[in-house]
Amino acid sequence: MVREIKQKKEIYRPFINYFQKSNSGFLLSNDAGYNVCLNKKQFEAFLKGKIKDKKCKNQLSEKNFFRNRLDFDVLAERLSSCFLKDWQGPHIHIISVTKRCDSNCFYCGANASFGKAINNDMTLETAKKTVDFIFNIRARDLMVEFQGGEPLLNFKTVKFIINYVKKKNKPFKRNIHFSIVTNLMGMDEKKMDFLIKNKVTVCSSLDGQKALHDLNRKSPKGSAHKIVSKWLKKITLLSKKNNAIESPNAICTISRSSLKYPEQIVDEFLKCGLKRIQLGPLDPLGKAALNWDSVGYSAKEFLGFYKKAFDYIVSLNKKGIKVYEKGALMFARQILTGQRPRYQNLDFIYRLAYNYNGNIYGSDEARMLSNAGDEFFQLGNVYENSFESLLNKPMARTLFLSAFGFLTQPLCARCVYNPYCHIMPVYNYAAQGSFWGNMATSERCKIFKGVFDIIIDKMADKTVKNMFIDWIEKYH
């Protein structure tokens, strides 16, 4: 339904929520998630309501940039699909089955207990309570992710949860996906067989070439790189032979030592057979916060690194080598289609995290903070709470509000990227000392803006835009 107000002159009156000058012109976006790039002449004509270029005018009209030609049906559909359409509760459930770890990474955000035989494994009783809690939420899809510490150190509980979830799901027939985030140090054939049989996606850490990986991720078992690359290659090979086996994923946590090696890091992923590269900036949590002077860096330094890595990925694609960066794909999908990612990580709304003792949080980062003794974000405990009871908690409601940055954050409300971005309260709290933070000085906000700028600028090149379209079609 297009509401058109006939006027004698200038019927195309501009409707924009946000705009920003970029290298390739002016970037405009609106609350429905549409965006468009205009050159200076087009932008000035658009502002005056006198745009002549027919193609440009049609494009602006289709994307709801004219206030007197708004298509309210499309706007309603797009806004509701971005926010809470058919929402029935969080579907991502991150379970930390132990606080223990057998690696001693110097940027560990989880404050894992290295080398200590402390009794902080999740018991089978707590595991059962956690699964019961999860099944009382009505979300159709469930994604259960095992975290730690190192989850392979409490594999008995991992196995119990998988078997119990499957048994409990029989009458419900929900779509269930399992994943395990592991350093792979304790992997063996028996564990691997169980994970493969149960279609569990293995996600590990790969920080780059041997020297870099082993510098960041110390292991008493010798070279962590040797072990992780062995298993990643092995699972990749198995997944290539058998489509039913999920290919593994790896995350590269960028520390200060990584900044010099953008190309080498990408090459290392390729050597392990991984097409998906994930370049994650370091958050100031746990040991990373304590060691920030030696491991941390500024947003500007990260963006310099990211741009080089991204340019290299583009050059590989131009040579026919299929490889993509997860963050770039996610942003490109949002920019080109207006869609939110399939499993967007809005705290509490779409995900919950459970500590080994049954404490519940809106995100894994909040759970990590609690390992350092700060329970600011704790929502409840699986022994005491139902999901419904959490809905009444002030923290849950505040997390809910935080998903709507355009209503609750003064700078986000004017930011061209806000339809595609969300704030992270735990980051704000850890880095800036408050739930809401201050986007004007937030390094995370600078990184987001910088990565968006890189993606948007690159899209001006038709070949790169087609590469993104190809990624969107092929990868999830």
Among 63, 99, 340, 449, binds ligand SF4 (CB under 6 A): 449
Residue found under tokens 């995370």: 444
Our CB check for ligand SF4 shows the closer of 201 and 428 to be 428
Least distance in Å: CB of 18 to ligand SF4? 9
Cβ proximity to ligand SF4: between 389 and 441 the closer is 441
State how far the Cα of 12 lies from the Cα of 5, in Å rounded to an integer: 9
Eight-state DSSP code of residue 220: T
Q: Which of 56, 84, 411, 469 binds ligand SF4 (CB under 6 A)?
A: 411
- CB count in 10 Å sphere of residue 216: 24
Say which amino acid occupies 377: F
Q: Which residue number, 180 or 421, has a Cβ lying nearer to ligand SF4? A: 421
Tokens 């998988």 found at: 162
What is the smallest separation between the CB atom of 439 and ligand SF4, expressed in angstroms? 4
Interface with ligand SF4, residue 286, by CB under 6 A: no
Residues in the chain: 476
Among 65, 306, 448, 471, binds ligand SF4 (CB under 6 A): 448
- Measured from the CB atom, the residue of 212 and 328 that comes closer to ligand SF4 is 328
Give the dihedral sign, CA 461/465/468/470.
Answer: negative
Phi, then psi, of 138 in degrees rounded to 5: -90, 5
Residue 399 C-beta: closest distance to ligand SF4, Å = 16
**Scanning the structure block, which residue is given the tokens 């000085």?**
441
Residue 455 as a binder of ligand SF4 (CB under 6 A): the answer is no
423 is a site residue for ligand SF4 (CB under 6 A): yes
3-state SS class at 93:
strand
Cβ 380 vs Cβ 429: under 8 Å: no
Query: Token pair for residue 218?
Result: 């110390």
What's the CA angle centered on 96, arms 92 and 100, to 5 degrees?
Answer: 160
Cβ-contact 343, 143 below 8 angstroms? yes
Contact string (CB under 6 A) for ligand SF4, positions 24-53, x = contact: ------------------------------
Q: Does 162 bind ligand SF4 (CB under 6 A)?
A: no
Count of residues binding ligand SF4 (CB under 6 A)?
Answer: 13
Rounded CA separation 283/374 (Å):
16
Residue with smaller CB distance to ligand SF4, 112 or 412: 412
Measured CA distances, 5 to 16, 48, 55, 74, 137 (Å): 17, 17, 21, 18, 46
Least Cβ distance, residue 34 to ligand SF4 (angstroms): 16
CB of 414 to ligand SF4, least distance (A): 8
| Candidate segments 74-82, 156-164, 165-173, 444-452, binder of ligand SF4 by CB under 6 A | 444-452
What's at 352, amino acid-wise? L
- Closer residue to ligand SF4 (CB): 248 or 405: 405
Contacting range for ligand SF4; rule: CB under 6 A; set: 246-254, 388-396, 417-425, 464-472: 417-425
Output 107 or 427, the one with its CB closest to ligand SF4: 427
The yes or no reply on residue 409 touching ligand SF4 (CB under 6 A) is yes
Rounded CA separation 267/273 (Å): 10
CA distance 135 to 97: 18
Structure tokens at 214: 């082993």
Residue from the set 417, 427, 429, 471 that interacts with ligand SF4 by CB under 6 A: 417
Cα distances (Å, whole numbers) of residue 47 to 7, 10, 17, 38, 174:
17, 11, 13, 11, 49
Q: Which of residues 245 and 423 has its CB atom nearest to ligand SF4 in the complex?
A: 423
Q: Among 228, 352, 421, 464, which residue sits at the site for ligand SF4 (rule: CB under 6 A)?
A: 421
Binding site for ligand SF4 (CB under 6 A): 405, 409, 411-412, 415, 417-418, 421, 423, 439, 445, 448-449
